[in-house]
Amino acid sequence: MTGFYQTAVVFGVLGLLALTLRYFAGNDKRPVPDLDGTDFGLLSEVAVVPTEEAANVLVQKLKRNGVRATRSRNAPYRVMVFPADVANARLVLRS
């Protein structure tokens, strides 16, 4: 009879562990990764140019003026900055 009780305790502990793990780690609500390259998260678009070279020139101009900037990987190339830097970026790009 002790073998039956030991087996029941082992399965009970495993079940409790499974429920605990399911409760704390099993409800993953993270967004699906952007596989097509169109979601830029927190970044805001300030310019769109047709070539990679033009995008690189604009990014370097923004960086020289203290604005953190980046560009997209695919054409048409989008120059993007953080929302707090949008006004400064547009001012720099106008000059």
What is the phi/psi pair of residue 26, to 5°? -95, 0
Q: What pLDDT, in 10s, does the model give residues 26-61? A: 666 767 777 777 778 899 999 999 999 999 999 999
How much is the pLDDT for 1?
Answer: 63
pLDDT value at 13 more than 90: yes
Query: Do residues 53 and 71 make contact, with C-beta atoms less than 8 angstroms apart?
Result: no
Buried b (16+ CB within 10 A) or exposed e, 5-44: eeeeeeeeeeeeeeeeeeeeeeeeeeeeeeeeeeeeeebe
The rounded distance, in Å, linking the Cα atoms of 36 and 81 is: 20
**pTM, rounded to two decimals:** 0.64
State the average pLDDT over residues 6-28: 87
* Structure tokens, 47: 């310019």
